[in-house]
């Protein structure tokens, strides 16, 4: 789990996106054959996904979100022979499905997308299954099942439960998407709530969201922060502009305190490992 991707971006399996896969700035790309395609587009989407996997499967971390129901069998059999990271299985509720398709899942990560009350209640079995690598929460379908007035509050228990079972069984956890694609400050508030609940990552639907998350982590990277401190201290001014942000002495002291805390925490872990 230490090397989990920070940005997980859904990309519809459509022709207009096929040529852009190599340039998309996200750690993990999830080719979507499900919600972003109309029924009439799904067969063409499968062919496009196969072409993308053949071209980019060895150079990018690619996943495919399959359809449930009648199309599942056709899609997993058509794509399993390509080399890529793994499958996301939507509306996941029953691990018996995995036993039926073990041969097609070999060498692939499997992300179980939990989108129903039954899926949440079956988490003990799902999270414990050896073929499952990660758990993701599908908030829109979950709230739809609960009813028209079910809001954010209705998902908290389900999300907490998913995080805890994922952590207990050593699987990674991904929170539901945010529909905010214009105001990145609002989106990052949602992202931070996901992190506050304990999720290791969040599903994304727009490149701007991926860029915001990448910037969030870049500005918390110890190496980057140390470079900010050094640039400030080497400057003759009492203010520094770096990568579009302004820093004054109080900002620098706050960064130094954060770096000292990181170093102290690392020392504690090192001492604990030595026994």
Q: Got the DSSP string for 186-240? A: HHHHHHHHHHHTT-SEEEE-SHHHHHHHHHHHHTT-HHHHHHHHHHHHT-SSSEE
Domain boundaries, given as residue ranges, for the chain: 8-218, 222-274
Instruction: Identify the three-state secondary structure at position 174.
Output: strand
Please name the residue ranges forming H helices in 129-155.
Answer: 139-146
pTM of the shown model: 0.83
Token representation of residue 241: 């502009």
Q: Tokens 């579009």: give the residue.
A: 244
- In tens digits, the chain (275 residues) has pLDDT values of 446 888 999 999 999 999 899 899 999 999 999 999 999 999 999 999 999 999 999 899 999 999 999 999 999 999 999 999 999 999 999 999 999 999 999 999 999 999 999 999 999 999 999 999 999 999 999 999 999 888 889 999 999 999 999 999 999 999 999 999 999 999 999 999 999 999 999 999 999 999 999 988 887 788 888 999 999 999 888 899 988 789 999 999 998 988 888 787 776 666 656 66
CATH of 8-218, one of 1.25.40.10, 3.40.250.10, 3.20.20.60, 3.40.640.10: 3.20.20.60
């Amino acid at each position: 789990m230490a090397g989990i991707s920070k940005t997980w971006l859904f990309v519809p399996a459509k022709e207009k996106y096929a040529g852009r896969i190599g340039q998309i700035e996200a750690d993990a790309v999830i080719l979507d054959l499900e919600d972003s395609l109309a029924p009439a587009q799904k067969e063409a989407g499968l062919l496009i996904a196969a072409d993308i996997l053949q071209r980019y499967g060895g150079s990018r971390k690619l996943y495919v979100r399959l359809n449930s129901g009648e199309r599942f069998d056709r899609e997993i059999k058509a794509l399993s022979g390509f080399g890529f990271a793994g499958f996301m299985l939507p509306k996941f509720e029953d691990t018996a499905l995995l036993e039926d398709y073990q041969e097609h899942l070999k060498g692939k990560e499997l992300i179980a997308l939990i989108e129903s009350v039954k899926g949440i209640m079956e988490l003990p079995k799902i999270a414990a299954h050896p073929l499952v690598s990660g758990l993701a929460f599908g908030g829109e379908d979950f709230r739809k099942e609960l009813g028209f007035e079910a809001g954010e509050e209705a998902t908290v228990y389900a999300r907490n439960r998913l995080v805890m079972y994922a952590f207990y069984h050593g699987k990674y956890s991904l929170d539901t998407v945010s529909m905010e694609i214009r105001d990145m400050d609002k989106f990052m508030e949602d992202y931070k709530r996901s992190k506050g609940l304990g999720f290791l990552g969040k599903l994304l639907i727009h490149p701007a969201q991926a860029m915001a998350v990448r910037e969030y982590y870049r500005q918390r990277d110890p190496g980057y922060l140390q470079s900010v401190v050094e640039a400030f201290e080497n400057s003759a001014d009492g203010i520094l502009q770096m990568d579009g942000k302004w820093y004054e002495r109080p900002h620098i002291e706050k960064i130094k305190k954060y770096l000292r805390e990181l170093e102290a925490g690392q020392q504690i872990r090192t001492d604990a490992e030595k026994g």
